[in-house]
Amino acid sequence: MRNEGLSVYLHVPFCAGKCGYCSFYSEPPEAGDVAAYLDALAAEIALWRGLLGPLSPRTLYVGGGTPSLLSPDEWGRLIALLEGLGDWSRLEEATVEANPSSLSDGLLNVWRASFFTRVSLGVQSLDDAELETLGRRHDAKLALEAMERLARSGLRMSVDLIFGIPGQTLRSWAASLRGVLDAGARHVSAYQLTLEPDTPMGLRSPVLPDGYPLYRYTQWFLPRRGFTQYEISSYAPPGGECRHNLAYWRQEDVLALGPAAWGYLKGRRYANPGTLDAYLEAAGRNFPEAKTAGERLGPRARGVEAAILSLRTRWGIDRADFAERWGVPLLKEIEAVLMAIPPHLVRADERSLALTPAGMRVGNAIWSEVLCLL
Ligand code: SF4
């Protein structure tokens, strides 16, 4: 096992309540839940340390759920547990997700005093009516105050926004984009609203507006402010890309910790127990599935997956690297698929195969063509 260059993802499974569109696993914490979660996490970290030896993480991402729901004291314990994984001197980036309704100066101080470099803030919109439609627990004023606090902290600010919300207009979307940049965002993730049928909004089945014009606007506006679209949903000035997410798109090893977390180790994709109760129960048995569970993809499936993940990014498929890892025949098959779609969607040169901005707008349709190779 290669312990250097590993990325670590930790899932914090608590939220104050459920947003109307959310299908991620999270629960409101009851008395004792956070302490029990941290005890189980200590056991999981000790297990992986025993299995893999001391780790030297390159990136860390703490997501959820709402990591900012934990108190500064609870965060102090969480950071001490993470430190127990090994040597953090080679860390390049550590991100924590936060919600505007729970981002405090106390938390920012704890994060800044440890190894965190970056905060990903779930703003989603700066329009109160849209936030209400989404069932968020904050309004635009609270989001602006949280961004101001984060900007003052000196930690790098990444902001999540959602487009395609019922009632949203191009004007309101443009105002949200402008507002987060003016507040100091150095990275923007812009996601189109999609609804799973088991979410409160999905059950109501609202008619979602066409997000295509808003996506086009984003691709036009953010580059004018110095942000490059480096992935289907991600924009940053050069050098400001999220390195942790690049690890996923490059199929690098990611150790998953916490309930419902997904990881990828040595070609094996695995998921931790999907609920807090199941996670606590597995911790009581010292996580017997950790060594064996998961799905091991064959080389062809991994190659096709690598192609699709690379095509999400602006760098696309590096021909020489892909041919070395997955073979020239598969590269030729993928190239044939891409050459059969309209030429303005694909950029092909001697070094790489990548989607153009127009291709990124219809990425899902292109992935399904590549998936036909399986
Ligand atoms: S805060 Fe995030 S994880 Fe929690 S319910 Fe809302 S969208 Fe889901």
Atom of ligand 1 nearest to the CA of 64: 3
Compute φ and ψ for 51, nearest 5 degrees: -75, -40
Q: Of all atoms in ligand 1, which is nearest to the CA of residue 18? A: 5
Please state the rounded mean pLDDT for residues 45-64.
Answer: 95
Q: For 180-187, what is the mean pLDDT?
A: 98
Q: In this predicted structure, what is the pLDDT of residue 289?
A: 78
pLDDT at 129 over 50: yes
User: Lowest-confidence range among 26-30, 146-150, 180-184, 297-301?
Assistant: 297-301
Q: Which range, 192-201, 233-242, 261-270, is most confident?
A: 233-242
Does 86 have pLDDT greater than 90?
yes
- Say which amino acid occupies 58: R
Please give the average per-residue pLDDT across 346-360, as a whole number.
97
The per-residue pLDDT for range 194-235, each reduced to its tens digit, is 999 889 999 987 788 889 999 999 999 999 999 999 999 999
| Domains of the chain, first to last | 7-249 (3.20.20.70), 299-371 (1.10.10.920)
Expressed in angstroms and rounded, the spacing between residue 18 Cα and the centre of ligand 1 is 6
Q: How confident is the model at residue 184 (pLDDT cuts 50, 70, 90)?
A: very high
pLDDT of 244 > 80? The answer is yes
User: Confidence class of residue 3 from pLDDT cuts 50, 70 and 90?
Assistant: low
Confidence tier at 87 by pLDDT (50, 70, 90): very high
Residue of 15, 102, 121 to test ligand 1 pocket, by largest number of atoms within 8 Å of CB: 15
Give yes or no for residue 1 having a pLDDT over 50.
Answer: no
pLDDT at 77 exceeding the cut of 80 = yes
Task: Say whether pLDDT at 251 is over 80.
Answer: yes
- Cα 201 to ligand 1 centroid, rounded to whole Å: 13
The minimum-distance atom of ligand 1 relative to the CA of 136 is: 6
> What is the structure's pLDDT at 73?
98
Sheet with strand 346-348: strands edge to edge: 317-318, 352-355, 346-348
H or E stretch covering 27: none
Whole-number pLDDT of residue 116: 98
**Other CB atoms closer than 10 Å to residue 112's CB: what's the count?**
14
Give yes or no for residue 144 CB within 6 A of ligand 1.
no
Closest CA to 294 of 265, 322, 316, 274: 265
Q: How far apart are CA 21 and CA 1, in angstroms?
A: 38
Q: What is the arithmetic mean of pLDDT over 160-167?
A: 97
Contact between residue 117 and residue 186 where contact means Cβ atoms under 8 Å apart: no
Cα 260 to averaged position of ligand 1 atoms, centre (Å):
14
| pLDDT tens profile 143-154 | 999 999 999 999
Name the residue at shortest CA distance from atom 3 of ligand 1.
65
- CA 225/CA 178 separation, integer angstroms: 9
DSSP code per residue over 136-151: -S--HHHHHHHHHHHH
Give SS3 for 28. coil
- Ligand 1 atom 2 nearest Cα: 65
For ligand 1, what atom is nearest to the CA of residue 99? 1
Q: Comparing 239 with 198, which gets the higher pLDDT? A: 239
**Mean pLDDT throughout 333-341?**
97
Distance CA 54, CA 8 (A): 13
d(CA 191, CA 204): 21
Q: In which band, very low, low, confident or very high, does the pLDDT at 325 lie, cut at 50, 70 and 90? A: very high
The pLDDT mean for the chain works out to 95
Query: What is the arithmetic mean of pLDDT over 42-48?
Result: 96
- pLDDT tens per residue, range 287-324: 887 766 677 888 999 999 999 999 999 999 999 999 99
pLDDT level of residue 267 (50, 70, 90 thresholds): confident
Whether residue 340 is predicted with pLDDT greater than 60 in this model: the reply is: yes
Structural tokens at position 21: 């569109």
Ligand 1 and 100: CB distance under 6 A: no
Alpha-carbon span 301 to 310, nearest angstrom: 14
Ligand 1 centroid, distance to 329 Cα (angstroms) = 43
